[in-house]
Amino acid sequence: MHQFIDGHFRMGSGDDAKRVTPVTGEIAEIIRYANTGDVDVAVASAKRAFDDWSRWTPGERSDAIQRLATELSCRSDELAAVETAQTGKSLRLSAGFDVPGTVDNATFFAGAARHLQGLAAGEYGAGGTSMIRREAIGVVGSIAPWNYPLQMAGWKILPAIAAGNTIVLKPSELTPGTSLLFAETVKAAGIPDGVVNIVTGTGAVVGEHLVRHPDVAMVSFTGSTSVGRHIMGVASATAKRVHLELGGKAPFLVFDDADIEAAAHGAVAASVINAGQDCTAATRAYIQSSVFTEFTARVAELMNQVVLGDPADPRTDLGTLITHAHRDRVSGFVERARGYGARILAGGHAPGGELSAGAFYRPTLVVDVAQDSEIVREEIFGPVLTALPFNSDDDGIVLANDTPYGLAASAWTHDLGRSLRAGRELQSGCVWINEHIPIVSEMPHGGFKASGFGKDMSSYSLEEYTNVKHVVMNGEQTAHKTWHDIIFSKQ
């Protein structure tokens, strides 16, 4: 059963759909989707639960989320296995990154729940004492993508409920498995029915109805920029708060003083992780000309060493992409680039033999492409890295920023001035120096430009899920306040 509504698992009332395993192309399960009526029931349940949950003390909510963290931790192996089965990502990634990251997130938000603070308590105007309250918003409608299904469920659910909201989450219809396991841990942790609801279905039916729903006070969306733009438009009809985490096309800037061995390892790891289906993945390498050949040769060498195979096998470095159709889309970018003169220094094809039935694609390095070519400009969301040379530092920064996106970027250098400049001038929500990919629960994740707005993780995201209220109390018992002179001139 793929719906979790008001504390119970149930069948959806919508259409049946086949979920296919990306490793073999075989049907893994039939999912009965939710329909708009199921969304209405889930929202009503979240609305009912809000009255009580929003009144729990921060300490009570913290205890419940800590129990949730423990439940998640106890079920780590199962969560990792389901995450790998539904996405095709390697078990090493699920078990070493997705699951522990989510447990750590839960532990962080258990603590953060006790630290929601207003800033003011004082007299800022004559006779009035002001205070700032940070209040839960109400029912949050969240929509998540398929690339890190468990982590996305955590990023959406945890700050929302820590701040006292209730939530209806729609996972990607391709990957509901670990969101539903997450719901089981919510139940086991004793979080009241209705605080967390999961509805599984398509974006067009279930997602859009959630965004449109008048009782949903805020929409939190992670996904592509095109769908994010559409959602923002739909949400405008009810003028609800929108939080958007969208696409990326992260630059990877290598200056001539960088440790090339470290940069090459960093580039391969950061472009291949999760088969490149990572919104912060390194996608555009810009390399200072004098080290271009050395860097690209080493990256190609390292990419060729990446072992593709059964995602459940611990020896596998890289599993599949999410679907065969997506693999073909990624391959299409590379083939069209070849057509306009690109050279492929590594990969550029799906593996044959026993892996040919799966949605695999080899790590790929593409050179001799123009800055304005499709493969450099568009989000591919596959294990494909382009590399272009640059001459002056100014040119490197300009090329890195020459994109509609602004989610993440990295610069590789030992020079303090270059590091500071990169941190200052690269236009993205995260800038790494001599690193690319790692994130931590304490620090915010979110974009600039067409990568969206709003922050996930950290206390910044907790604040996203609150309304700021100014309460002012006037203790003077006089009928005529000083400012009334403006209105009552004759008194």
Among 247, 309, 319, 383, binds ligand NAD (CB under 6 A): 247
Residues near 159 by beta carbon (within 8 Å), at least 6 away in sequence: 109, 112, 456, 457, 461, 462, 464, 465
- The Cα 165–Cα 116 span in angstroms is 13
Please state, in angstroms and as integers, the Cα–Cα distance from residue 6 to each residue in 39, 43, 57, following that order: 11, 9, 22
User: Is 226 within 8 Å of 202 (Cβ atoms)?
Assistant: no
CB of 2 to ligand NAD, least distance (A): 13
User: Does 146 interact with ligand NAD (rule: CB under 6 A)?
Assistant: yes
Considering only 71, 104, 310, 379, the residue that binds ligand NAD (CB under 6 A) is: 379
Write the DSSP assignment of 443-458 as a string of letters.
S-B--EETTEES-BSH
Decide: is 457 part of the binding site for ligand NAD (CB under 6 A).
no
Residue among 363 and 382 whose Cβ is closer to ligand NAD: 382
Residue from 385, 447, 455, 458 that binds ligand NAD (CB under 6 A)? 447
One of 12, 88, 177, 223 touching ligand NAD (CB under 6 A): 223
* CA 187 from centre of chain: 24
Residue found under tokens 């006089």: 478
- Interacting residue with ligand NAD among 137, 139, 143, 160 (CB under 6 A): 143
Q: How far is the CB of 211 from ligand NAD (least distance, A)?
A: 6
Site string for ligand NAD, 86-115 (x = CB under 6 A): ------------------------------
Using the contact rule CB under 6 A, the part of the chain among 139-147, 263-271, 291-299, 411-419 near ligand NAD is 139-147
For residue 287, the SS3 value is: strand
Q: What minimum distance in Å lies between the beta carbon of 174 and ligand NAD? A: 7
204 binds ligand NAD (CB under 6 A): yes
Owner of token pair 């918003």? 137
- The nearer residue to ligand NAD, 90 or 172, going by C-beta atoms, is 172
Quick one: which segment of 39-47, 82-90, 166-174, 359-367 binds ligand NAD (CB under 6 A)?
A: 166-174
383 forms part of the interface with ligand NAD (CB under 6 A): no
Q: Which is nearer to ligand NAD, 245 or 464 (CB)?
A: 245
Structure tokens at 245: 């985490």
Q: Please report whether residue 222 would count as binding ligand NAD according to CB under 6 A.
A: yes
Beta bridge partners of 141: 168, 219
Residue 328: exposed, middle, or buried by beta-carbon count in 10 A (0-12, 13-18, 19+)? Answer: middle
Which 3-state string (H, E, C) describes 216-244? CCEEEEECCHHHHHHHHHHHHHHCCEEEE
**Antiparallel, parallel or unpaired: β 8-10 and 384-390:** unpaired
Which residue number, 202 or 304, has a Cβ lying nearer to ligand NAD? Answer: 202
Least separation in angstroms between residue 447's CB and ligand NAD is: 6
The string of DSSP letters for 263-308 reads HHHHHHHHHHGGGG--TT-EEEEEEEGGGHHHHHHHHHHHHHHPPB
For position 147 contacting ligand NAD by CB under 6 A, the verdict is yes
Kindly indicate which of the ranges 44-52, 124-132, 227-235, 282-290 contains the residues binding ligand NAD, using the contact rule CB under 6 A: 227-235
Q: Does 42 bind ligand NAD (CB under 6 A)?
A: no
DSSP element (H, E) containing 70: helix 58-74
Distance, CA of 95 to CA of 474 (rounded, Å): 56
Beta-strand relationship, 466-474 and 128-136: antiparallel
CA distances (Å), origin 2, targets 38, 369, 484, 486:
12, 45, 60, 62
Min dist CB 487 to ligand NAD, Å, is 49
Q: How many CA atoms lie within 13 A of 53 on its CB side?
A: 31
Instruction: Give the footprint of ligand NAD on residues 259-318 (CB under 6 A).
Output: 279
Nearest to 366 by CA among 488, 276, 457: 276
| Choices 50-58, 84-92, 123-131, 138-146; region in contact with ligand NAD by CB under 6 A | 138-146
Tokens matching residue 161: 């409920």
83 is a contact residue toward ligand NAD (CB under 6 A): no
Contact indicator for 324, 353 with CB cutoff of 8 Å: no
- Cα–Cα distance, 257 to 412 (Å, whole number): 8
| Residue from 12, 138, 194, 248 in contact with ligand NAD (CB under 6 A) | 248
| Of 231, 260, 282, 437, the one binding ligand NAD by CB under 6 A | 231
CB of 207 or CB of 396, closer to ligand NAD = 207
156 binds ligand NAD (CB under 6 A): no
Q: State the number of binding residues for ligand NAD (CB under 6 A).
A: 31
Residues tagged active-site: 245, 279
Q: Which residue ranges make up the site for ligand NAD (CB under 6 A)?
A: 143-147, 170, 172-173, 202-204, 207-208, 211, 222-224, 227, 230-231, 245-248, 279, 379, 381, 407, 447, 451-452
